[in-house]
Amino acid sequence: MGTVYKAHDTIIGRDVAVKVLAGALGSEPGYVERFRREAHTVARLTEAHIIPVFDTGEVDGRLYLVMPLVDGVDLGALLQRDGPMLPERAVHVIEQLAAALDTAHTAGLVHRDIKPSNALVTPRDFVYLIDFGIARDTAAGALTSTGVVVGTMFYMAPERFTSDVADISSDIYSLACVLHECLTGRRPYPGEGMEQQIAGHLTVEPPRPSQQRPGLPPGFDEVIARGMAKNPQHRYPSAQELAAAARNALAAPPASERNAAPTMCGGSYPPPVWHDHGQPPAPTAPAQGAVQDLPTNSATRSRLRTATVVPTILLVLLLGAVVFAVTQFARPHPHPSTAPPDWQPYVDDAEQFAVIMTTFNPASIDSDVQRVLDGSVDEFHESFASNETVFKQAILDGKKATRGTVNAAGLESFQGTAASVLIAVTSTATGIDGSSEPPRNLRLRIQVRKVGDAYKVAKGEFV
């Protein structure tokens, strides 16, 4: 939104930082108001970890802010350069950001854009929270009525995607995301695409840092889980309480053993039994790139929505029914038999459903959707049914037919009337104009349950 320059104040005789609103935005009322709001917002706050504003003004139609000149680098660049931090240092950073946030929250302000690039770190690890340009007064209305979601999707709380409701708990969620990245060097959810981020923040369980970086104290898993809880009421009530919990997590023993294979009682499983239908696709590595803001131009949003709506809906609906902590069932080794194994119907049903779930056509959308509903129960069925109308419209608007092909399937676990099955699927999309898109390789974990004489899908997740 603005460019920061180093300048010299000839009256006081000191170096300062001058933030100037980009020239192209000077005619945009929304950006001008945001720029002015930053000055007014920061002027209300007195906290060591918030850079004060010395002066503000306008020259030749260009708005500017004058602030102290800070020798530092933004946290995002620091993590990209040096990788994940030592746990003690990560907690030290979060404690300082939490102090700044609590001051803002006490003043009735919500930052709405907590992310690594909005934290400035000095050579002595003193941290400043910056860029209050989209902060909102909780006692006032929204800045605009355009319906545009403001913030950065990689660290955005779930409720922001669905309604752009932003309050203290939304900032706390984002702060937990930043803590995760400080500890692991990774954003909470992989992928650069909007559909991946929406699905992750809306439906995927919070990640466990100790599983991504062996040796981290396991207490950080609980801190991230609560800080990134989908339900805002389940999060920490304040940023300082999140920071205190992170400090307490440092005292816990390391989690080196948590990545080891679980011990089975009463027997153990052989490796998953794969039924090949060709070569299973290799997992697609998520692209890594610069942080991107959500598009605010209506035409850009329209094009993006058209290009991604089908995979977005597929991903969200599938993940919406997920329980990521899949129960690991134990059973004794099977006895040799000439009859099909008891688990075979579960694998067969999972294969069939994987094809159904990845095959849709605008011309037959009603029957395609009905097949999904007929083949599912429990959370999966409820999630899909509640989004049926939106899903159908997305397929019609996307003007693409998708087709799924199973490459491999294998039993992961089996007990009683429930089984967990791993599926490798290739999905292709063809436009009604004959255009085609590159195949998408997917790996799914599908849980199948026997209901009467039928087999139904109850849950699913990408792996």
**What are all long-range contacts of 159-166, with beta carbons under 8 Å and residues at least 24 apart?**
159/232, 161/198, 161/201, 161/202, 162/202, 166/110, 166/112, 166/136
Last residue of a domain, one of 29, 44, 68: 68
Q: Which residues of 68-97 are buried (b: 16+ CB within 10 A; e: fewer)?
A: ebeebebbbebbeeeebbebeebbbbbbbb
- pLDDT at site 115: 95
Chain position carrying tokens 């119907």:
345
Same domain for 84 and 44: no
Residue 46 CB contacts under 8 Å (≥ 6 apart), including other chains? 52, 103
Q: Do 26 and 123 have their domain in common?
A: no
The DSSP string of 275-297 is: EESSPPPPPPPPP-----PPP-S
Q: Which of 74, 113, 221, 368 is catalytic?
A: 113
By DSSP bridging, strand 2-9 and strand 14-21 are antiparallel
> What are the residues facing 115 on neighbouring strands?
none
| 326: three-class secondary structure by DSSP | coil
Residues 285 and 320 in one domain: yes
Enumerate residues 6+ apart whose C-beta is below 8 A from 371: 356
Helix 87-106 and helix 168-184: axis angle, to 10°? 170
Residues of the chain predicted below pLDDT 70: 1-2, 21-32, 34-35, 38, 133-151, 164, 253-341, 462-463
Residue-number span of the structural domain to which 51 is assigned: 2-68
Predicted confidence at residue 456, as pLDDT, reads 94
Q: Can you give the CATH number for the domain in which 108 is found? A: 1.10.510.10
Query: Which CA distances in Å does 278 have to 48, 275, 404?
Result: 61, 9, 14
Q: What is the pLDDT of residue 147?
A: 36
Clarify whether residues 167 and 236 are in a common domain: yes
Torsion of CA 242, 244, 246, 251, to 10 degrees: -160
CB-based contact 425:337 (threshold 8 Å): no
Residues 451, 418 share a domain:
yes
- Provide the pLDDT for residue 150: 46
Total number of domains in the chain: 3
Closest CA to 42 of 103, 113, 120: 103
Separation of alpha carbons 99 and 463, rounded Å: 37
- Pick the last residue of a domain from 53, 68, 83: 68
**CATH number of the domain to which 38 belongs:** 3.30.200.20
Is 145 among the domain residues? no
Q: Looking at the structure, tell me whether residues 94 and 49 fall in a common domain.
A: no
Same-domain check for residues 128 and 230: yes
Give the C-alpha separation, 125 to 182, whole Å.
13
Q: What is the CATH number of the domain that holds 296?
A: 3.10.450.230
Specify the pairing of strand 109-110 against strand 273-276: unpaired
b/e map 345-357, b = 16+ CB within 10 Å? ebbbbbbbbbbbb
Amino acid 124: pLDDT: 94
pLDDT at 300: 41
- Residue 113 designated active-site: yes
Q: Are residues 361 and 302 in the same domain?
A: yes
Residues 282 and 417 in one domain: yes
- Do 451 and 327 lie in a common domain? yes
- Boundary (domain end) residue, out of 15, 35, 68: 68
